[in-house]
Amino acid sequence: MNFISVQTSIDVASVSLFINDKHIETLYSDGDSHHSRSLPLIVEEMTNKDIIDINEIDYIAISIGPGSYAGIKAGTSFVKGFAYGLNIPVIPINSIEAINFSLEEEGKYYIAIYSHRDYVYCQRFNNGKPDSEQLCIKISKINQYKIIGYRLSEIFNGDFKEVIPDSINIGYKSIGLYNKESIMNYDNLSPNYLKISN
């Protein structure tokens, strides 16, 4: 299938184009976090390249979090309008699940995305399978296992494997979900906002 995937749950927005389920190109914002301004420009640049007719796009995949509240809100709002104009479905993709989908890790580990102060959005996995709920907790509570994450050096002095969530991971995670997860009633597109857990 042909589709566009969008990642706005972190400070750097990205948009990827897939044709016949193969990744063709990815464009990134400059990292200013103002996704409501940068996202339309990135998508316009992507669609103006004449790689594919915009009417040949089958769906849009969008990161729904966890991550930046403002970024997720900007991304989902833009994608709703864009999909409505093309009359195509949206496939919501969880940001942490998309990162995990790109990994081949064994044993127990956490995927963590910086939230604020010393808090992270995180989930524990065991041999690639979810082993906990997704939480927003202090990073000190998860350092007993290997950590794979984004922007953790600001709050964590221990060892961790750096990953950058992007629209490529969102796109690959969406492949095969067209009939299972696609949404045409855009009001049903629900962001995954995590509150601080005890």
Residue 33 confidence (pLDDT): 61
- Mean of the pLDDT values across residues 3-30? 95
User: CB within 8 A of 174, min separation 6: which ones?
Assistant: 3, 5, 59, 61, 91, 93, 181
Tokens of 119: 């808090």
- Mean of the pLDDT values across residues 168-181? 95
The predicted-structure confidence for 122-159, as pLDDT tens digits, reads as follows: 999 999 999 999 999 999 999 899 999 999 998 998 89
pLDDT band (50, 70, 90) for residue 38: confident
pLDDT band (50, 70, 90) for residue 37: confident
**Which parts of the chain are beta strand (E)?**
3-7, 14-19, 22-28, 59-63, 90-93, 108-116, 119-126, 129-130, 135-138, 146-150, 161-162
- pTM, to two decimals: 0.93
The answer to whether the beta carbons of residues 96 and 121 sit under 8 Å apart is: yes
- Secondary structure of residue 55 in the 3-state scheme: helix
Annotation: CATH topology of 103-162: Nucleotidyltransferase; domain 5 (3.30.420)
- Secondary structure of residue 129 in the 3-state scheme: strand
Alpha-carbon gap, residue 37 to 77, rounded angstroms = 12
The answer to whether the beta carbons of residues 91 and 174 sit under 8 Å apart is: yes
Q: Give the right CATH number for 3-95+165-188 from 3.30.420.40, 3.30.70.370, 3.60.120.10, 3.40.50.300.
A: 3.30.420.40
The predicted-structure confidence for 180-190, as pLDDT tens digits, reads as follows: 889 999 989 98
pLDDT band (50, 70, 90) for residue 49: confident
Residue with tokens 């994608």: 79
The answer to whether the beta carbons of residues 160 and 7 sit under 8 Å apart is: no
Residue 31 confidence (pLDDT): 67
Domain map (residue ranges) of the chain:
3-95+165-188, 103-162
Q: Do domains 3-95+165-188 and 103-162 have the same CATH topology?
A: yes
Among 80-84, 87-91, 192-196, the minimum mean pLDDT is found in 192-196
- Mean of the pLDDT values across residues 83-112? 97
- Whole-number mean pLDDT of the chain? 93
Residue with tokens 């045409």: 184
